[in-house]
Structure 1
Amino acid sequence: MIRRRSTPWIHRWSRVLIAAIAAAGALETAFLTVVKLTGNVSAVCPTSGCNQVLNSPYAQVFGIPLTLLGFLAYTAMAVMAAAPLAFNPANQKELRSKLENLTWPLLFAGGIAMVIFSGYLMYLLIFVIKEFCFYCLASALFSLALFVLALIGREWEDIGQIVFTGIIVGMVTLIGTLGIYANANSPVATDSAVNSSGSGQAGPPVTTTSGEAEIALARHLTQVGAKEYGAYWCPHCHDQKQLFGKEAFALADYVECDPEGRNARAQMCIDAKIQGYPTWEINGKFYQGVQSLEKLADLSGYNGPRNFKNTIATPTVP
């Protein structure tokens, strides 16, 4: 009597697990896309680093939020994993088998592409942006899990073909990723001249007023050559403006980095290799995140009055 070989549990449950993990990733990226488009990133970020990352130049591709692209990728993986499960194996076995054979290579290719792209984003997170982002880490773990499950979730008949496919997809993904982010900090630099006359997009107006100390500090920062690099759409850049107040901030040297912003000076941001907004340049050193006025005073050697009147939450001081 020949005993039938049992199917490993991972082969039985791999599609369910892939669909579940991809669905979780889709929910996370959908949520982040909504808060990104509504400008509420700071309200949902558990750490200041998360806010820095989601507002950095690396958080969008060709003007599209990276989270939206992630949502589409996770959704595609979930659909491909779950589609064959909709067919009853008892009376639709052949159709289900054909769909499984069709979608497994796509799941494998998608898993490779996502894990390589996520790996590069983690490299940027650790070595370039140098901040911690819980959502980014979770997404990277989701992508890694999808790749592993797509690899071991079935018994592959032609290992050589799988290895070849993996190499090709991996190389294409890596080259494409490097190409996309090659100019992450130079978003059409020539466009900056278009908006130098005062046209272009402006962020929300500064609603706070300035005191004598804020005005004196702003003048001092400009005199010592300090600059703030930001973008009109960046919520923390607006927080920094609110700390100074309307009158004082008008005296500060603010550099608009987005070519579509008003009075944009994108080339200056490119030359300074700005990685996130806002970033202060003081005495040749760079400081990312919202800085308290006390901190700016200390960093710039300001000796004037310090009875600053404006406060906004807890500023980010790296």
Structure 2
Amino acid sequence: MAVLGLLITGYLAGTAGIGSPSAFCGADGGCDAIQRSGWSTLLGLPMALWGFGLYAVVAWVSLSRKASPLLRWQRQWRLVLLGLAISVYLTGVGAVVLDAFCIGCLASLAVLAAMFGWLQLRRPVSAPGQPWKRWWAVQALPVLLVVAVLHVHQSGLLHQRPESRRAAALAQHLSDYGAKFYGASWCVECRQQKRRFGHAADRLPYVECSPGGRNTPMTSTCAAAGVTVFPTWVIDGIQHNGVIEPQQLAVLTRFDWDSAGAAE
């Protein structure tokens, strides 16, 4: 099963490295949204590559005969529990935040779940080596801690820009000017656009075009505005697609960016 996991994550890491869509995934499908999101990489490396490393360590531990059966089982169990917890977390992020699923990621999740079930069924007689309640308590805490740290890092909570007077002033100016920022809750680039404004993003003239999720019809407001891609800015009746830097938005709406910065 570890070898199967190596094949799946190796393939996903390879497609992520060359920027091509995975099999069974359309160019604008859920896999593409996940691959372009901030959750697809960790410390500059594809998340699939980290999964490949985990499977490799599990395979190495499984093939090693230097440790006793109990010690080998304990090591396998800890590694698989960690991988399963992270995989469940990332799948939940895809479903809740991005409204998307990755076939390869789900396949890896299924492999990890099967590995965990197999370890439970085929454990040594002496396993886990201590009372189950204590075993679970001791093992679950570090796993939950790792997932919590991963969430804080991947969600950008540590990297989000604090609200500045200039960003807040520009966001308010955009609303007063009549500019519109059309986007969708599952749109990766829309989240990137909001991050440019830090906590002032709540002041942007944002219009949600897909409140029901990725595969639901666009709202009549967005359809009437001729929106076809996200994000789309409409300024002075002209559409601007993609993420736009605050300085450029200032130029397009004749906002005095330099003076606003000097006031901070």
Work out whether the TM-score is over 0.5: yes
Aligned-pair CA distance for 1:283: 2.6
Decide whether aligned partners of structure 1 residues 63 and 192 sit closer, same or farther in structure 2, where only a CA change above 3 A counts: farther
Aligned-pair CA distance for 1:66: 0.9
Do the aligned partners of 1:45 and 1:51 also contact (CA within 8 Å) in 2? no
AA paired with 2:72? T
Q: Quick one: distance in 2 between partners of 1:23 and 1:119?
A: 20
Q: 2:109 aligns with which of 140, 145, 154?
A: 140
User: What are structure 2's unaligned runs of at least 5 residues?
Assistant: 168-176, 227-264
Q: 1:168 aligns with which of 131, 138, 145?
A: 138
Q: Which residue of 1 aligns with 2:4?
A: 24
Q: Which residue of 2 aligns with 1:283?
A: 207
Do the aligned partners of 2:182 and 2:222 also contact (CA within 8 Å) in 1? no
Q: 1:266 aligns with which of 189, 192, 195?
A: 195
Q: 1:188 aligns with which of 159, 164, 170?
A: 159
Q: Quick one: distance in 1 between partners of 2:142 and 2:129?
A: 18
Aligned-pair CA distance for 1:68: 0.9
Q: Which residue of 1 aligns with 2:84?
A: 115
Secondary structure of the 2:154 match is coil
Aligned-pair CA distance for 1:225: 1.0
Secondary structure of the 1:226 match is strand
AA paired with 1:24? L
Q: Which residue of 1 aligns with 2:236?
A: none
Say if 2:75 is the partner of 1:81: no
Q: Which residue of 2 aligns with 1:68?
A: 49
Say if 2:159 is the partner of 1:226: no
Aligned-pair CA distance for 1:31: 1.3
Aligned-pair CA distance for 1:286: 5.1
Do the aligned partners of 2:183 and 2:207 also contact (CA within 8 Å) in 1? no
Aligned-pair CA distance for 1:149: 1.6
Q: Quick one: distance in 2 between partners of 1:286 and 1:133?
A: 20
Decide whether aligned partners of structure 1 residues 173 and 224 sit closer, same or farther in structure 2, where only a CA change above 3 A counts: same
Q: Which residue of 1 aligns with 2:14?
A: 34
Q: Quick one: distance in 1 between partners of 2:70 and 2:191?
A: 52
Secondary structure of the 2:8 match is helix
Say if 2:254 is the partner of 1:299: no
Aligned-pair CA distance for 1:297: 9.8
Bigger Rg, structure 1 or 2: 1
Q: Deviations over 1:189-242 (max 9, x none)?
A: 34999xx9xxxxxxxxxxxxxxxxxxxxxxxxx96412569xxxx9x97xxxxx
Secondary structure of the 1:157 match is coil
Q: Quick one: distance in 2 between partners of 1:72 and 1:136?
A: 15
Decide whether aligned partners of structure 1 residues 300 and 28 sit closer, same or farther in structure 2, where only a CA change above 3 A counts: same
Q: Which residue of 2 aligns with 1:307?
A: none
Q: Deviations over 1:150-170 (max 9, x none)?
A: 222233315562623333222
Decide whether aligned partners of structure 1 residues 121 and 302 sit closer, same or farther in structure 2, where only a CA change above 3 A counts: closer
CA RMSD after TM alignment: 4.0
Decide whether aligned partners of structure 1 residues 119 and 100 sit closer, same or farther in structure 2, where only a CA change above 3 A counts: same
Structure 1 residues 235-274: aligned runs within 5 Å: 257=192, 266-268=195-197
Say if 2:44 is the partner of 1:44: no
User: What are structure 1's unaligned runs of at least 5 residues?
Assistant: 1-20, 85-94, 197-221, 238-254, 258-263, 274-280, 290-294, 304-318
Q: Quick one: distance in 1 between partners of 2:40 and 2:114?
A: 22
Q: Deviations over 1:97-146 (max 9, x none)?
A: x4434322101111221222222222223333222221111111111111
How does the TM-score come out when normalised to structure 2? 0.62
Decide whether aligned partners of structure 1 residues 158 and 104 sit closer, same or farther in structure 2, where only a CA change above 3 A counts: closer
Do the aligned partners of 1:125 and 1:131 also contact (CA within 8 Å) in 2? yes
